[in-house]
Structures are given as C-alpha cells and as structure tokens.
Amino acid sequence: MINFKLLTFYFTFIALISSSLIIAEEIEEIDHSEDDRFDGVNIHDALSRDAGVQNFTSQIITKHGYPWEEYEVTTADGYLLTLFRIPGSKISPPKEGKSVVFLQHGLLSSSADWVVTGPNQGLAFILADAGYDVWMGNARGNTHSRKHLYLSPKKKQFWQFSWHEIGQIDLPAMINFVLQKTWQQKLHYIGHSQGTTAFFVMGALDNKGTMMSKIKSMQALAPVAFMSNLKSPFVRAFSPFVNSLDWILSMLGMHEFFPSNKMMKKGGYFLCRDESPFQNVCANVIFLICGYNSEQLNRTMLPG
C-alpha cells in the first residue's frame, strides 16, 4: 500500500536539493559564458521568472542549432500547459511519420531538464539525432505552465493539486494533443521521478485502457511508486510532519512550494559552487535522502 505522506515528503526533499543544484549550475554556467547570452538572449534576464524564464527551454534548443516548436494545451480544469517539440536535427531532418517520444520531467522541474546538458548528454537531443519526433511536456504550475483560464498563480486555488492531478488530467491532455498533432496512434513515454508517478496514476485510473492503448512503451527513470523500501532515516523521521509544514506555509501565504526567486538562486550558487567550502554538503544531503552511491552522482552537473 502506498504511504502518501512518505511519498509526498520524499518528493519535497528531493525537490529542495535538486532544484538548488540545478539553479546553481545554471548560474555558474551563465556567469562563465562569453557574454552571458544564448544567441542574443540575456540568460540572466531569462532566469528571472518576471522576465520570461518560460522561454528557457527554447533558448537552449536554439543555442545548439536544433529546430523547435511550442504549443499550448488547455486541460479540462483550465490549466494551460506548454509543450515543446524537437521534430528533428541536422543528422535526422524533420519529416512526417517519425516515431514519437514524449518526455515528462520530475518534481519542481521542467522540459529544460531534457536539454540543459547539451547535445551529447541531453536526452531530447540524443533522441532527435536518433530519428525520433521528440515532445517534452510541462506539468501544471511549473516554469512553463503557470497560466490558467481564470486563476492566478498568486491565488491559493491555483496550487490546489498534486502529482495525482498531473497523472489524471495533465498527461492525458498532453498525450492526446501530441498524437492528434502527429497523426500517430501511439507514442513512447519516458518519465523521470514524478514523471513516472504521474504515469502510474494515469494507468491506474485508466479502467477502460483508453490511454494505455496509446502507449508503445514506457521507460521509468528513477521511478517513484511504493515507499516501503526507502532507507533514509531522515525522510522517515520527518514525514509525519508534512501536514504541519503545509499548514504553516499556508498561514504565511506561501501557497507555491519552493518558488524560484533570487534568494533561492543565490543560496544554491554560494553554497554549492566549486569555491564554496559547503559544496560537499550539497552532495551529501542528496546521499542522505536517496542513499549513498557516489558513482551514480553526476558531479559534472554540480556547480563548477
């Protein structure tokens, strides 16, 4: 049986640490770039939510010379979700009839995760070069999907959702749109972390098999479903306090979990960059939560 409190708490701490590292990495890379620009776009401005960080995925794709398309999907409950597409590359030019791959990010992440490491390591680029029609989804509330037909992200009601609604509503809406746009009957699904949990929710609720009949294959990267094998004493010790934490944040008017702001970005940068004496702490906190395995930690993605 799924321990929902433990699952939620696990996602919470994974998000806190991974987001700090990713933000710090982005700032470190940007500070050492030639002129802080991706093809004429100021990335310092792009990383600011108020200045249009929603374009970050497309800026990375453009920087590496790949074609891209952007679409907006409206869910049944009014959220506007952004989809990015890489239809091909110089190695495999765009054409009709390509096999479709749909990539879904993890918690507090976005489609940028699939391209931020560049053509040699970014899965979206690798798949595009291999001949696939690559689509990247963005769940409600993330950097690229912060719009609603009548709710503002400043309102509490906007944030009344979890990974359950992402699997129940967002994934079917995005997958159906992709298949309709490409004239395909099925696609390959690749999910990471919460992107796998949402898929499991979609499958569990698909009593008639309508959505599962549209899936050629599913690849689960770092899947999260049952929490009984979780070894972290830290997560287990603090998971009973999830509801209390939620209540405190709500009383403070903080409805969005771990919002991106200057304080968070600077904190991640100064604590985790190469010159910081606390950089090892960043890695060790990940080990504390996820289990120790230094060989599986991609240190090239740490700041520096």
Task: Find all residues with CB under 8 Å of 165, minimum gap 6, and list them.
Answer: 77, 140
Kindly report the CATH number assigned to the domain that includes residue 244: 3.40.50.1820
Element (H, E) at 44: helix 43-46
Q: For the CA atoms of 282, 284, 286, 291, what is the dihedral angle to 10 degrees?
A: 170
Helices 262-272 and 4-31 pack at an angle, to 10 degrees, of 80
Q: How do 100-104 and 41-42 pair as beta strands? A: unpaired
Predicted pLDDT of residue 227: 74
SS3 282: helix
Angle among Cα 72, 74, 76 to the nearest 5 degrees reads 165
Q: Take residue 32 and report the two structure tokens written for it.
A: 């050492």
Predicted pLDDT of residue 45: 34
Q: Take residue 153 and report the two structure tokens written for it.
A: 């992200």
Predicted pLDDT of residue 256: 63
Predicted pLDDT of residue 7: 57
Cβ contact 11:163 at 8 Å: yes
State how many domains the chain has: 1
Cβ contact 73:147 at 8 Å: no
Whole-model pTM above 0.85?
A: no
pLDDT along the chain (304 residues), means of 10: 54 49 42 36 35 70 96 97 97 96 93 93 97 98 93 89 95 98 98 96 96 98 83 72 67 60 68 73 73 70 54
Cβ contact 172:211 at 8 Å: yes
Q: Take residue 166 and report the two structure tokens written for it.
A: 């992402």
Q: Please spell the DSSP secondary structure of 92-114, one letter per residue.
A: S---TTPPEEEEE--TT--GGGG
CB atoms within 10 A of CB 44: 12
SS3 137: coil
Q: Tell which phi-psi region holds residue 78, choosing left (phi > 0), alpha (psi between -120 and 50) or beta.
A: left
Give the domain range for residue 250: 4-301
The whole-angstrom distance between residue 138's C-alpha and the CA centroid of its chain comes to 7
Q: Please spell the DSSP secondary structure of 262-301, one letter per residue.
A: HHHHHHHHHHHSTT-TTHHHHHHHHHHHH---GGGS-GGG
Q: Which whole-number Å values give the CA distances from 71 to 20, 87, 110, 121, 177, in the listed order? A: 28, 13, 15, 25, 9
Cβ contact 249:24 at 8 Å: no
Element (H, E) at 134: strand 133-136
Predicted pLDDT of residue 253: 62
